[in-house]
Amino acid sequence: MNNQICNRNIRLLNIFTMCVNAVFCLPIILPFYRDQLGLTFHDFLMIESIFCAAIVILDVPTGWMADTIGRKKTLIAGALTFAFGLWLITQATDFWTAALAEFIVGSGSSLMSGANSAMLYDSLLAVGRQDEFRKREGFRFAMQLYSCSAASVIGGYLYIMSPTYPMEVHSAIVVLAAIAALFFVEPPRHKKIIEGNPLLDILKTVKYITHGHKEIAGLILLMMLVFSTTKISMFGVQAYTYALGYPESWNGWIVSTLMLAGGICGHIGHKIWPALYGRKALYVLGAILVLSLIGAGVGISWLGLLSLSAEAFVFGVGMPRAQEAINNLAESGMRATILSSASLATSLGFIPMSQLIGWMTDHYGIGAGLLGHAALISALGLWSYFIIERSYKRSIVNSTITGT
């Protein structure tokens, strides 16, 4: 692979990212399920948990798939599966048919997660430009959020025309992403491609993370707390605006503003506190999230909505740093599998935490739900901090003793 092919892969990956993340349904998905299917906020979060369950079940196997059959084929399969799931949402008639559609959407998302970042990193690595990864990945995340921002505004108007239009239009655009992926050039990997029983290879990767590479395990644990919370907060914005009595037509503009803010943070994130990275960055971002949830929960107001919006900053700045930290530590032959493990952990964390906020919101209001979530991630965050720091100190002592 040469620089020209590497740059071509980067451009195609940005196009692919923009198409997949043109989520027209994001600002209206809660009203769609509520008004078209009669579901509550808790029901909605249960469906999203099923989406996450698909990721929990499939994310590591699909990461292994990307490491074995290639990033390109996996991304194409993921885009087509994702598009089919979006179309199925428009055909949903009740909770279970909606859950099935979301499971298929989650399956497509699993195929793409890990493989996209690995495609970028390995393309750069092939030409000795891996130091550009944080900047390039930050820009890709910015493109993801810019696309989502523009689509959110349009999606609000599409919903007024027809409740199914946002999903149908997004489905068609994701098919275009699959077509763009046909032109990727598969980057080389610098370790022998894993062959053999996929389950054994996946278990080997899990052992690799948890035994001898606890820094990766710690990063994944922190990512679970931080990024499952940013996702919950994004959906919470729709419930929050409903509690404020804002017209639902405003959702598109509000979500669009959040996505734009997150995109800008991702775009220039490598310039924001560049010395803060790895687990320490996630400590700080986790603390910001706790404060934002408390600020939003203590009083339902436009200031609370502004506080809740801090999740866009956390996601935009934090995700590229977390991905970079894992990429720098992981072996090329299992990089997509490890990145998928991180995505899996985030989805796994979303399932129980979303049920807490959903149940509390339905029974006591969105303010109580946000405060309950703040208490939960504070407790888990402190526990994680002490566990991770203790393991780091032990690893330093062991390295000193062995002279490595």
Segment 315-319 mean pLDDT: 78
Give the structural domain span for 146: 8-184+197-402
Residues sharing a CB contact under 8 Å with residue 318, sequence separation 6 or more, in sequence order: 226, 227, 281, 282, 285
Segment 224-232 mean pLDDT: 85
Residue 196 has pLDDT above 50, yes or no: no
Residue 125 has pLDDT above 90, yes or no: no
- Average pLDDT value for the chain: 82
**What's the distance, Cα to Cα, between the start and end of the chain in Å?**
35
Tell me the one-letter amino acid at 308: L
Q: If pLDDT is split at 50, 70 and 90, which confidence band does 139 have?
A: confident
Whether residue 270 lies inside any domain: the answer is yes
Residue 8 has pLDDT above 70, yes or no: yes
Segment 390-396 mean pLDDT: 69
- Please state the φ and ψ torsions of residue 330, each to the nearest 5 degrees: -90, 150
Give the pLDDT of residue 386. 80
Residue 336 has pLDDT above 70, yes or no: no
Picking from 365, 387, 391, the residue whose alpha carbon sits closest to that of residue 297 is 365
Whether residue 2 lies inside any domain: the answer is no
Picking from 38, 28, 29, 25, the residue whose alpha carbon sits closest to that of residue 168 is 25
pLDDT > 70: percent of the chain = 81
What tokens were used for 225? 């707390």
Write out the DSSP string of 160-187.
HH-TTHHHHHHHHHHHHHHHHHTT--PP
Give the pLDDT of residue 329. 67
Whether residue 297 lies inside any domain: the answer is yes
Q: What is the distance of C-alpha 331 from the center of its chain? A: 22
Q: If pLDDT is split at 50, 70 and 90, which confidence band does 21 have?
A: very high
Q: Are 136 and 124 in contact (CB under 8 A)?
A: yes
Instruction: For residues 329 and 216, give the distance between their C-alpha atoms in angstroms, rounded to a whole number.
Output: 7
Whether residue 1 lies inside any domain: the answer is no
Instruction: For residues 368 and 77, give the distance between their C-alpha atoms in angstroms, rounded to a whole number.
Output: 41
Residue 240 has pLDDT above 90, yes or no: no
Q: If pLDDT is split at 50, 70 and 90, which confidence band does 334 have?
A: low
**Global pTM value:** 0.71
The listed range with the strongest mean pLDDT (182-186, 317-321, 381-385) is 182-186
Instruction: For residues 92 and 357, give the distance between their C-alpha atoms in angstroms, rounded to a whole number.
Output: 25
Whether residue 253 lies inside any domain: the answer is yes
Picking from 297, 291, 295, the residue whose alpha carbon sits closest to that of residue 314 is 291
**CATH number of residue 275's parent domain:** 1.20.1250.20
Q: How many domains does the chain divide into?
A: 1
Helix (H, G, I), strand (E, B) or coil at 26: helix
Segment 109-129 mean pLDDT: 87
Q: What is the CA radius of gyration of the chain?
A: 20
Picking from 301, 287, 288, the residue whose alpha carbon sits closest to that of residue 367 is 301
Q: If pLDDT is split at 50, 70 and 90, which confidence band does 195 have?
A: very low
Instruction: For residues 372 and 368, give the distance between their C-alpha atoms in angstroms, rounded to a whole number.
Output: 6
Give the pLDDT of residue 212. 58
Q: What is the distance of C-alpha 210 from the center of its chain? A: 22
Least confidently predicted of 78-82, 278-282, 293-297:
278-282
Least confidently predicted of 238-242, 269-273, 302-306:
269-273
Distances (CA, A) of 44 to 31, 166, 168, 303: 10, 17, 20, 25
Whether residue 29 lies inside any domain: the answer is yes
The listed range with the strongest mean pLDDT (140-144, 182-186, 247-251) is 182-186
Give the pLDDT of residue 85. 96
Give the pLDDT of residue 194. 42
Residue 190 has pLDDT above 60, yes or no: no
Of 254 and 96, the structure prediction assigns the larger pLDDT to 96
Whether residue 313 lies inside any domain: the answer is yes
What tokens were used for 95? 């909770």
Whether residue 191 lies inside any domain: the answer is no
Residue 193 has pLDDT above 50, yes or no: no
Residue with tokens 């939960």: 376
Instruction: For residues 297 and 300, give the distance between their C-alpha atoms in angstroms, rounded to a whole number.
Output: 7
Half-sphere exposure (Cβ direction) of 340: Cα atoms closer than 13 Å: 36
Give the pLDDT of residue 178. 95
Instruction: For residues 186 and 376, give the distance between their C-alpha atoms in angstroms, rounded to a whole number.
Output: 42
Give the pLDDT of residue 389. 78
What tokens were used for 343? 């995505």
Give the pLDDT of residue 98. 95
